[in-house]
Every structure is written in C-alpha cells, then in structure tokens.
Chain A
Amino acid sequence: MVLDNLLQTAVFGLIEGSVIAVGAVGLTLSYGVTRFINFAYGEFLTYGAYLTVFLAAGLFGLSLPLPVAAVVAILVVGVLGVAVSRVFFEPISDRGALPLLITSIGVSFILRNMLQGWVGVEARQLPIPLMRRNDYFGIQLTDLELGVIVVSVVTMLAIHLLLQRTMLGKRMRATSGNRSLAEVAGIDTTEIIRQTWFISAAAGALSGVLYAVLFSPFRPVVGFEYLIVIFAATLLGGIGRPYGAMLGAICIGLAMNFGSTYLSANYTRAYAFLILVGVLLVRPEGIRGGEF
C-alpha cells in the first residue's frame, strides 16, 4: 500500500512533469537565442489550449477531431509567436534584456486581454471523454495520461534530433553560443531567431494543449499562472539549456506531487520553488551544467 502510493505519486509527478517539460523546453529555446526571459510565453499555452477548444468544439463553424485541432492550433500559435517577435521584440532587440523583458510583460497583458475580450472569462474544457484509470502493473493511469507522457517524450526526442541532427539545430546552437560569431560564419541569425520563435511558441501551445487535456476546466489566465512553474523548471535546469529544462521539469513535477501527497496539498507550487532555491544555492548554474 505504501509502495503503491509512492509509485502512484511518482507517476502523477511524471505526468505533470511531462506537461511542464514541453513548456520549459520551448521557453528555454527562445531564451537561448534571444537572451531575455519572455513573460508573454504563458499566453502561448493559453492560446494553444483555447484554439484547440474552439477548433474542436465548433466555434469557427468547424468541429475538427481533437488531434487535428491541436495540430492546427499549435501551428497557428507558432505563427503568432513569430508575429509577436517581429512586431514587439525585433525592433528593440538591440536595447538589452531589460526593455525586452518589460515589453514581454506588456505583450502578455495585451494577448491575455485580447483573448478575454474575445471569448470571455468563463471556464472552458476540451471535448474529451472522462475515463477511469486502468491498472498498469499496479500503477493507475487513464489512457489520456499515458498519451500525455507519450506525446511529451516524442516531443523531447524530436527536439533532441532537431538540435543534434539538423542544420537548423546546429545554427540555433551556434546563434545561442555566440551570435556575432555565428553571423561571421555566414548564419542568418535573424532568420534563425524567427524560426526559434516559431518552435518555442509551438512548444508552448503544445504544453497548453497537454495541460488542457489533464487539468480542465481552465480560464484565460491559465498560461500566465502556470508560467511560474515553467520558469522554475527552466531555471532549475539552467536557463538556455533544453536538456536541463527537461530534467528540471521532471524534478519540479515530482516535487509538487510528492509535497502535495506527503506534506500538505495546499502548497503545491511552493515545493517547486523550495527545490529550486535549494538546488540553486548549491549549483547556481542549474542541475545540468554545460553549454546546452
């Protein structure tokens, strides 16, 4: 019984960690090439979740199957990410990190209020059936929870392959390492940054969709509120380091769920930050050192 509870809690931690990981990787990728913390990132989660709801539930006169709706929403949010970067961030990209950071807070308000003005503040949920948990070797999981883990693992794998095996990934790493040097080497860094914005925003949208699958109903503030957890994972892994972000997300997911189960359920997010502070005191560069 004790072991079962322990395992079950660990699995819940991994499930939540999977959602955080996708978001954290997206955030850290954009930080890697832009070098500022994007507070508008949470809105990509929100837009991903809401667009999926509306594409699947018929707001635009469409009732797409949920996976198709999710893919369309992720692509649209990716484009939105590029548009946001071109309109708000590119023009001031040479002013330093602080103006960009403050601008990103403003952008997040604009995006959130636009959504609220459009769809209202009512709670929404994805049109997915409610399932009881199945027993997998003593661990209770719904098919959807299993699906979330699978999607997250596949996404991590895809990002790994992108970074290591593709020319775009190499250029992204080069731009992240030293933008001037990358430019001297003939890399169009502006184009690389735009492509990174697309991937980053799309990953945020996917994280939002996964969140919506697990934690419905949700409201337009969902992304902004969850951003704090994503930040914790990103910082824990060492900001700008995608593999660190994945690891950080799993740690945060586990800390939140173990804390909720064995200490008190009222301080879920506090556990995330307790772990973060503890680790950063010992390893300021994050749990995973190194460049990427």
Chain B
Amino acid sequence: MPFDRRTFLKGTGGVATATVLAGCTSDGGGSGDQTTGSDSSDAESGDSDASDEETTTQSDSGSSDAINLGVPLPFSGDYAWVGANVLPVVNMVVEEINGQGGIGGRDVNVVQADTEASPDAAVSAVNRLVNVENVQGVIGPTSITMSAVVDTLTNNEVPVVTPTAGTTSLDDRGGEYIFRTVSSDSLGGSAIAVATNNQEFNSIQDYERMALMVGNQEVFQSFKDPVRSSFEDLGGTVTTAMDIRTGKASYQSEVQQMMNSDPEICVLIASVEDSVKITEAGYQAGYEGNWFLTQDQTNQDFLSQSENQVTNNMLGLQAAPYGAAEESGRLDEFFERVTEYAGWEEGEKQFVTNTYDAMNVLGLAMKQVAVDGDDVTRSNIASAIPTVATPPEQTVTNYTGGAEAIENGADVDYGGLVGPIDFDENGDIVAPFSIRKVQDGSWTEAAYLPPEEL
C-alpha cells in the first residue's frame, strides 16, 4: 500500500486536529458551561454576562455525581432584576450546603437558565434543565413563565420551590411537586381590597369606589379577579376593570376612560415602566383620585422614575417582615450576610427572603432524603419537602442548624424569614403584608396587614 509523505502529513494532521477539538470540547463541557466559585457579582449586574445560559458551579471539586439544582429565571430583559436578586441568595445557601459536606457527600451545583421573562425561552430553558442538566430540584420560575413550564416540571416529577411565582394559576396545582415561598396573588389581591376599603390599613380613608387597570399579561391578570371580588365582597364598587396593553407609548386614552368612571382610587397592576407612564398621564389629565400599586411597583425603582408630585400619598403592597424573624434578629442577620456575600449596597431586595426560605427548604429536604438512606431523586426530594417544613416538630431556621438536627434524628420544621413556611395541601404559604405609602419620594409603612385579616 503506497504511503507517501503527503498522506502521512494529512493523516497525522487530521488526528492532531481531532485531538485538539476533542480537548476543546472536553474543556468546554467543564469550564465553558460551568464557572466555579462565587458568581454573585455576575448575577448582581443583571447584564448580558449574567444572561448567558451558563452553569454556575459552587464547588471547586465539580464532582461528576454532583446534584444539580436549576434556577430558571429572567437574567436578561426587563425582568433581569429578578434573576439578579435571586441567584446570589441561591449561591450563598448552596455554598453553605457544600460547606457542611454537601448532600450525602455529593456537592450541589447551581445551573442557571435564562427564561428572558418569555414563555418560549422558558420552555427551552426548562427543557434543558430537566433533560440535559438532569436537575434534581428547581428554584423559580416567575409567574410570567410558570404556566408555560409547569406541566414539564410536574410530568418529570421535578420538585419546584419557587420564591417568585404568586400567580393564581398555581393555587390548586401545587402540593406534590410545586411549592412556593411567596404568597399567592389571591392573598395579595385580598390584601389590596382590604387595605383599600379600610382606613385602618391605608391611613388615608375608607375608599368605596375603585377602578382597576391591569396589564394584559398573566403576571398582572393574576391579581385582577382576587382584587375585584374581594373588594365587591367588602361592599365596595368597582367602577371599571380595564385590561391595558403593556409596552404602549402612551396611555392617555386608557387614563381618560378610567377617570370617566369617577373612582376614588385606581388599583394599577402593571410593569414599572407602564405604571410611570400611566400615573404621569393621570397627573397631566388632572386625576384627583389615589393609586394603589402591587409588589412589582412598590419599590425605589418606580419612585426614582417618577416625580414626587405624582407619587405623593400613593399606596403600595409589599410582603411584610415575619414578626418572629424580625424580633429574633434573624432578618437583620440575613440582610447583612447577603449584602456582604453579593457585594450589594443593601440587602432588602425583592424576593431575597423568599429565596432564602425556598433554598433552605429544598436543601433540608435533600438532606432528609440522604439521611434516611434513600436515593436523592426528584420524587424523593418532593416527598420530603412538606416533611421538613411542617409543624409541630423541632423548629429550625437555617440549613446548618436544620441539617444537624436531621443528622441527629430529629424531625424538623423550617421556620423562615417571610413566615413560618407551613405549606398547605396546595403547596402555598400564608404570610403577612405591609401597606406602604409614598411620602416625599420614599415608601413609608402605613399599616401591617396580618394574614388573619384576609
């Protein structure tokens, strides 16, 4: 067989190229997709760096049998702040878990996936987490994308503890695989109705005529019926309940229509950007009633984009700090810890406490499964979630304490930062609300609304 110099060079060149490519592929799998160590700064920036669908590994070892946890959240686009708030807290608790020896000696990896706050992107992101990354649990997603992925997650028996999805579509779907550490919008809607109707909870007046302006996306629509029905049950009148298209250039017509119905207060359930336009359009048109906003707008971001003369006396809804966590100093300790860990200027960001509770519950459930000697599988973890969060067993308030108690054979009941975290049969929790009022460009506490009032 003839074997000249040219053929030899071709052959060796091909082998060398294949070897180099194989090396690249191997490296790509190990470091291209996975970054090691603390990635809180990436997440904090919320920019395109954090938006890449990357795998964030919390262990230096990166052992092949590590347990993957998925974080399908928006890391880019208008809702990038959600991912930026949640991810550092997830990483912080995962570091704590790995620092305690992991789960049955296996490290935990965090796999982030960008849902872009879009159902299409969320389906692709969650499919990747479930089928490619083989995640054993999920923290997320948000209300915007939950409906698009909930079937995939439940059909694959993936335990989900979401700190960010208040959507009413989950009200009767959770309890087996889906749990949440954020109040249902049904409860939030009732809170808005009660606070509007009762001066005791808004510090201004008993409002009797309410208009509703609701963005035409699931995340906003989820609030509409609870607010309307609760307010009418309390004897109030809903003068108009308008669906508004999100992302419009101007809302003059909608605001005029709302004003024509002559309300005393308008509950505005929309994005920050649209809310700025709508409330300013109201001011320009001489609207003299008040506004009531939901959690999405009850933040400094909204106020920083609005003029004081527009926002003065506006009311807003927020999750209230859980009394037991506040009094024991746990809340302040957590804020200090996360501020330092993530390099933030302040720790009191939306969803951070919910995320801490969600991660602790998921971590303790995995620990329980491992200590019981069972395989750390999706369904076993899902079954253990209600076990570690239900009274009346030994109350624990963080992963380290809880894991120790579990190892000592105790049945634990996790008590969180947002509430006692006792899941009902639908995987929901109850938590108190805080009614905020804007004064001189800042949100101030107007009233505390305990869950028993709803």
Selecting from A167-175, A232-240, A259-267, the interface stretch reads A259-267
A217 and B305 contact, CB distance less than 8 A: yes
Question: Smallest CB–CB gap between A45 and chain B, Å?
Answer: 12
Task: Provide the residues of chain B in CB contact with A226, threshold 8 Å.
Answer: 249
Task: Provide the residues of chain B in CB contact with A216, threshold 8 Å.
Answer: 276-277
Selecting from B283-291, B318-326, B445-453, the interface stretch reads B283-291
B283 and A214 contact, CB distance less than 8 A: no
Task: Provide the residues of chain B in CB contact with A132, threshold 8 Å.
Answer: 283-284, 286
A116 to B48, CA, bound (A): 9
B285 and A140 contact, CB distance less than 8 A: yes
**Contacts A130-B310, A217-B305, A257-B253; is A265 near B245 (CB within 8 Å)?**
yes
| A16 at interface by CB-CB < 8 Å | yes
B243 and A266 contact, CB distance less than 8 A: yes
| A12 at interface by CB-CB < 8 Å | yes
| B424 at interface by CB-CB < 8 Å | no
| B444 at interface by CB-CB < 8 Å | no
A130 to B272, CA, bound (A): 17
Question: Smallest CB–CB gap between B273 and chain A, Å?
Answer: 5
| B169 at interface by CB-CB < 8 Å | no
A18 to B416, CA, bound (A): 56
Task: Provide the residues of chain B in CB contact with A265, threshold 8 Å.
Answer: 242, 244-245, 248, 251, 253-254, 257
Q: Mark A198-218, 1 if CB is under 8 A from B, else 0.
A: 000000000000010011110
Question: Smallest CB–CB gap between B29 and chain A, Å?
Answer: 28
Residue in A closest to B252 when the chains form the complex, CB atoms:
A12
A117 and B305 contact, CB distance less than 8 A: no
| B307 at interface by CB-CB < 8 Å | yes
**Contacts A130-B280, A142-B284; is A16 near B250 (CB within 8 Å)?**
yes
Task: Provide the residues of chain A in CB contact with B253, threshold 8 Å.
Answer: 9, 12, 257, 260-261, 265
| B47 at interface by CB-CB < 8 Å | yes
B78 and A215 contact, CB distance less than 8 A: no
Residue in B closest to A133 when the chains form the complex, CB atoms:
B284
A-B contact count (CB 8 A): 73
A219 to B80, CA, bound (A): 14
Task: Provide the residues of chain A in CB contact with B285, threshold 8 Å.
Answer: 133, 140
Selecting from A56-64, A120-128, A242-250, A276-284, the interface stretch reads A120-128
Counting contact residues on chain B (CB < 8 A from A), the size range is 20 to 34
Task: Provide the residues of chain B in CB contact with A217, threshold 8 Å.
Answer: 273, 276-277, 305
Partner pick for B277 among A9, A211, A215, CB 8 A cutoff: A215
A268 and B248 contact, CB distance less than 8 A: yes
Partner pick for B249 among A5, A133, A142, A211, CB 8 A cutoff: A211
A261 and B286 contact, CB distance less than 8 A: no
A133 and B77 contact, CB distance less than 8 A: no
Partner pick for B307 among A117, A130, A133, CB 8 A cutoff: A130
| A131 at interface by CB-CB < 8 Å | yes
A121 and B78 contact, CB distance less than 8 A: yes
**Contacts A215-B249, A261-B256, A265-B254; is A120 near B47 (CB within 8 Å)?**
yes
| B216 at interface by CB-CB < 8 Å | yes
A72 to B251, CA, bound (A): 30
A125 to B301, CA, bound (A): 13
Q: Among residues 5 to 22 in chain A, which have CB atoms less than 8 Å away from a CB atom of chain B? A: 5, 9, 12, 16
Task: Provide the residues of chain A in CB contact with B249, threshold 8 Å.
Answer: 16, 211, 214-215, 226
Q: Among residues 226 to 266 in chain B, which have CB atoms less than 8 Å away from a CB atom of chain A? A: 242-245, 247-254, 256-257
A5 to B259, CA, bound (A): 13
Question: Smallest CB–CB gap between A156 and chain B, Å?
Answer: 21
A142 to B284, CA, bound (A): 8
A266 and B216 contact, CB distance less than 8 A: yes
B305 and A125 contact, CB distance less than 8 A: yes
Question: Smallest CB–CB gap between A5 and chain B, Å?
Answer: 8
Question: Smallest CB–CB gap between B135 and chain A, Å?
Answer: 28
Task: Provide the residues of chain A in CB contact with B244, threshold 8 Å.
Answer: 265-266
Q: Mark A265-277, 1 if CB is under 8 A from B, else 0.
A: 1111000000000
Residue in A closest to B273 when the chains form the complex, CB atoms:
A123
**Contacts A121-B77, A123-B273, A130-B309; is A215 near B250 (CB within 8 Å)?**
yes
Partner pick for A123 among B251, B257, B286, B305, CB 8 A cutoff: B305
A169 to B216, CA, bound (A): 47
A133 and B250 contact, CB distance less than 8 A: no
Partner pick for A268 among B47, B245, B310, CB 8 A cutoff: B245
Question: Smallest CB–CB gap between A2 and chain B, Å?
Answer: 12
Task: Provide the residues of chain A in CB contact with B284, threshold 8 Å.
Answer: 130-133, 142
Beyond A16-B250, A130-B283, A261-B256, 20 additional pairs, beta carbon < 8 A: A117-B48, A121-B78, A121-B80, A123-B272, A125-B276, A130-B307, A130-B309, A131-B284, A133-B284, A133-B286, A215-B250, A217-B273, A217-B305, A225-B247, A265-B245, A265-B248, A265-B257, A266-B216, A266-B244, A268-B245
Using a CB–CB cutoff of 8 Å, the interface residues on chain A facing chain B are 5, 9, 12, 16, 116-117, 120-121, 123, 125, 129-133, 140, 142, 211, 214-217, 219, 225-226, 257, 260-261, 265-268
A-B pairs with beta carbons under 8 Å apart, 14 shown: A12-B253, A116-B48, A117-B48, A121-B78, A123-B276, A130-B280, A130-B307, A142-B284, A214-B249, A217-B273, A217-B277, A225-B247, A260-B254, A266-B244
What 9 A-B pairs have minimum CB-CB distances, sorted nearest first?
A260-B253, A215-B249, A130-B307, A266-B245, A265-B253, A261-B253, A265-B254, A123-B273, A215-B250
